[in-house]
Amino acid sequence: MFVLKIGGAAGLDHEALCQDIAALWRSGAQLVIVHGGSADTDALAQQLNHAPRTIVTPSGHHSRYTDRQTLEIFAMATARLNRLLVERLQQLDVPAFGMSGVDGRLLQARRKATLRSVEDGRVRIIRDDWTGSVTGVNKALLRTLLTAGYLPIIAPLAISDGGEMVNVDGDRAAAAIAGALQAETLVLLSNVAGLMRNFPDPTTVVAQLSQAELAAAGEWAQGRMKKKLMGAQEALSAGVGTVVIGDGRRATPLQDALAGHGTTISAAGVQQPALAAVEAHA
Ligand code: ADP
């Protein structure tokens, strides 16, 4: 079982990705896909005159400032992307099933009551925020779809305890799904060559990382990479064998990631490469 997260930043080649997904599907692999939508959300927000804003937390994490209007713009942008992926995969004879984490309470989350943001060196409290952290996965729903032979394509929205739609981080949502399904491998495809020791120098990509080294990397990595590493840590802690941070701009991005391109992070005792972990779908 593989879980694949398709990054939402600009630069990924979706056509190459769909071809690669179709090839892996045809080989009999069982697969779940989570996608982002950050670049499309930014573009739509600009068109709707609701310019995107980024929050930097006191601990250095970057996230989108998500007021209610931004949440709905995110829902629109990711819905379009979801439909385009499903359309292309259907053309390639893959029985893709698009949905968001809100549908059937697929992803449950805790809404963040308040967020702390650093602005001009001062900490500000933000209350109109519609983001959350994933607390649960409707495993039975995913299993039902997989058993019926569908390939779920999931947009990273979730439902809170209070029934509110919230935006969740795609990498961490994919990690939660991979953990819930006990996937052997989680692939996080982004628009960089992998985790770089000296970002943005591509000659410093870290090829292999142990779970112990991952904690240290979470300290020195910057910006959005921090969240990806947090997701990797959560997946490994939940029992996923291998996490690959791969380059989504390559001609065969998924196969290359599984063959060891990018950064491969392994739980203790897991052998490489990840491609050995193919399990037949229905
Ligand atoms: P996506 O939405 O594609 O999943 P993100 O934007 O969340 O990707 O994260 C990838 C980004 O992380 C890269 O585009 C890069 O700008 C940033 N980044 C920060 N530090 C590093 C690093 N050490 N190595 C690689 N990328 C990094």
Express each pLDDT in 150-174 by its tens digit: 999 999 999 999 999 999 999 999 9
What is the signed CA dihedral for 178, 182, 185, 186, rounded to 10 degrees? 10
Is any ligand 1 atom within 6 A of the Cβ of residue 35?
no
Is any ligand 1 atom within 6 A of the Cβ of residue 91?
no
Is any ligand 1 atom within 6 A of the Cβ of residue 195?
yes
pLDDT tens for each residue of 11-48: 999 999 999 999 999 999 999 999 999 999 999 999 99
Domain regions of the chain by residue span: 2-47+72-107+139-280
Least confident of 6-10, 102-106, 137-141, 157-161: 6-10
pLDDT tens for each residue of 74-87: 999 999 999 999 99
User: Regarding predicted confidence, which is higher, 50 or 282?
Assistant: 50
pLDDT above 50: residue 204 = yes
Is any ligand 1 atom within 6 A of the Cβ of residue 156?
no
pLDDT above 60: residue 282 = no
Q: How far apart are the C-alpha atoms of 5 and 19, rounded to whole Å?
A: 15
Q: What is the 194 CA–ligand 1 centroid distance (Å)?
A: 8
pLDDT at 269: 62
pLDDT grade for 274, boundaries at 50, 70 and 90: low
Contact 31/151 with Cβ under 8 angstroms? yes
Give the closest residue (by CA) to ligand 1 atom 3.
7
Give the closest residue (by CA) to ligand 1 atom 25.
195
Nearest in space to 60 (alpha carbons), one of 241, 270, 218: 218
pLDDT at 188: 98
Q: How far apart are the C-alpha atoms of 247 and 67, rounded to whole Å?
A: 31
Q: What is the 74 CA–ligand 1 centroid distance (Å)?
A: 19
Is any ligand 1 atom within 6 A of the Cβ of residue 198?
no
pLDDT at 272: 57
Is any ligand 1 atom within 6 A of the Cβ of residue 64?
no
pLDDT tens for each residue of 85-117: 999 999 999 999 999 999 999 999 999 888 899
Q: What is the 160 CA–ligand 1 centroid distance (Å)?
A: 27
pLDDT above 50: residue 141 = yes
pLDDT tens for each residue of 55-72: 888 888 777 899 999 999
The CATH code that applies to domain 2-47+72-107+139-280 is 3.40.1160.10
Is any ligand 1 atom within 6 A of the Cβ of residue 271?
no
pLDDT tens for each residue of 212-244: 899 999 889 987 898 899 999 999 999 999 999
pLDDT above 80: residue 279 = no
pLDDT grade for 268, boundaries at 50, 70 and 90: confident
Is any ligand 1 atom within 6 A of the Cβ of residue 228?
yes
pLDDT above 70: residue 276 = no
Burial 33-71 (b: 16+ CB within 10 A, else e): bbbbbbbbbbebbeeeeeebeebeeeeeeebbbbeeebb
Q: Is the pTM of this model over 0.85?
A: yes
pLDDT grade for 277, boundaries at 50, 70 and 90: very low
Instruction: Determine the residue of 171, 199, 205, 245 to mutate for testing ligand 1's pocket, defined as the one with the most ligand atoms within 8 A of the Cβ atom.
Output: 199
Is any ligand 1 atom within 6 A of the Cβ of residue 38?
yes
Q: How far apart are the C-alpha atoms of 54 and 59, rounded to whole Å?
A: 14
Q: How far apart are the C-alpha atoms of 158 and 164, rounded to whole Å?
A: 8
pLDDT at 278: 45
Give the mean model confidence (pLDDT) for residues 115-120.
Answer: 90
Q: How far apart are the C-alpha atoms of 94 and 87, rounded to whole Å?
A: 10
